Amino acid sequence: MTGAGTVGGRKARSAETEAALKEAAKRVFARTGYLKAKITDITAEAGRAAGSFYSHFGSKEQLLEALLVDMLAAGDERVEESDHSPDFSDPAAVRWHVAAYWRFVSANRAVVTALYQAAMVDEHFSERLRLLLEPNLHDIADHLEHIRGSGGELPGDPLVVASAMTSLMSQFAFTWLLGSPPGRRELTEQEAVDTLTRFIVHGISGPAGAVPDRSATAAE
C-alpha cells in the first residue's frame, strides 16, 4: 500500500519537473525562437529525460498554451491591486491597464513572441489563442461601459472599441518591445504608457464630430 508521504513526494517531483520544463521552454524560445525549438531542446535545457515531457504536455503547442494560462492567471491577480479601477471614464484607470499590459509584454517577451509565431503557422492554435484572450476583451468592453454610465459617448459598440484598443496596444508593444523600433529609437516605459494612454483616452472620449459619420449615407 502506497503511503501518503510517497504520493505527496511524487506529486511534488512532478510539479517540480513541470515548472522546470516551463522555465526551460522560455529560455529556449528566447534563444532559438518558437518555430525552431525542439522538445528535446527543452528537456535538455531543463535537465530532464526526453520522455518526461509527455508526462506533462502532449505537444510543444500545449506547453505554450500552459505558459499563456499561467501569465493570464498572474494578470488576474494584479486586478486585485488597490489602485486598479474598471471605470474608464477616469483616465487614470485607462493608464493603469495600459501600464499593466506594457509590463506584461515586457516581462514575457519570449513567450509573447512565441505566441505570435505559433498563431501564424497553426490555425488551430490561433483559434485557441483567441478563445483564451476573449474574456479579457469582454472585460475591457465592460470597463468602457462606465463611460456611457457617466453620460459620455463611445465612438462605437463597446466590444468593437475594446477590440480597437487592445489591437493598438498589442501592435504598439510588438513594434517597440518585440520588433525593430522605428529609427532604432529607445522608448522608456513611462513615455510608452503616457503616449498610449493619451492616444486611447482621446480616441474613446474625444468629440464624435471630429470624424464624419458616413454610416447613414452608406445605408441609403
Residue 77, C-alpha cell as written in the block = 491577480
Name the domain boundary from 12, 40, 58: 58
Task: Indicate the pLDDT class of residue 5, thresholds 50, 70 and 90.
Answer: low
> How confident is the model over 177-193, as a mean pLDDT?
90
Of residues 142 and 207, more confidence is placed in: 142
Predicted confidence at residue 219, as pLDDT, reads 47
- Using alpha carbons, select from 57, 63, 74, 73 the residue that is nearest to residue 26: 63
pLDDT range class, residue 10, cuts 50, 70, 90 = confident
Distance of CA 129 to the CA centre of its chain: 10
Residue 45, domain extent: 1-58
Question: Are 93 and 179 members of one domain?
Answer: yes
**What pLDDT score does 185 carry?**
86
pLDDT for 169: 97
Determine, yes or no, domain membership for 220. Answer: no
- Residue of 75 and 9 predicted with greater confidence: 75
Q: Is the pLDDT of residue 137 over 60?
A: yes
